[in-house]
Amino acid sequence: MCWLSVVLRGQQSRATLRPSLSPRVIIGDPVDEYGELEGIVKVTTAAALVDILRRYPRGALKVRFVTTNFKLFEVWALCAFSWCNAAVVAEEIADVTSPSKAPPWWGLVIRKGRARGLAPIFALTQRPAEFDKTALGNATIIRCGRLSRAAV
């Protein structure tokens, strides 16, 4: 089993993000992994995500969108692209992209997000063969490793 962390800009020493480094962070968190991090607002519906981002057009906000509905990934990506000036974290990206092409809004985040202040952009997966080539082609740093023990 492998994990892949693609960093589209910036530096990362391991596969987990330390969102405290950026005052504005938007996280796509389908498996609810970032709950232990302090100061991050959890939202579970697209309406709640849109609402909180509208209330914080500028200034510090760390928000994570927790949903298992993969169809809402593009809503999250649209929100990230529209919000601007933030770190972006997309977890379990192989579940919502295909190897051939990034979904439309996620593709814009990757290709044009830096011009809108989206940096760093983290795209994380355990399934690199199922990851979209757009993210891989635009990556500044790629880290890949394997687990030395059986997955539980």
Distance (Å, whole) CA 1 – CA 3: 7
What's residue 1's pLDDT? 25
Please indicate, yes or no, whether the overall pTM of this predicted structure exceeds 0.85.
Answer: no
What's residue 147's pLDDT? 59
Number of domains forming the structure of the chain: 1
**Domain-embedded: residue 45:** yes
**Domain-embedded: residue 66:** yes
**Domain-embedded: residue 98:** yes
End-to-end CA distance of the chain: 11
The two structure tokens encoding residue 44: 């579970």
Q: What confidence tens digit (pLDDT) does each residue in 44-57 have?
A: 999 999 999 999 99
Q: Which domain holds residue 82?
A: 2-14+31-144
pLDDT for 4 beyond 80: no
Q: Rounded to an integer, what is the distance from CA 22 to the centroid of its chain?
A: 14
Q: What confidence tens digit (pLDDT) does each residue in 72-119 have?
A: 999 999 999 999 999 999 998 989 998 888 999 999 999 999 999 998
**Domain-embedded: residue 20:** no
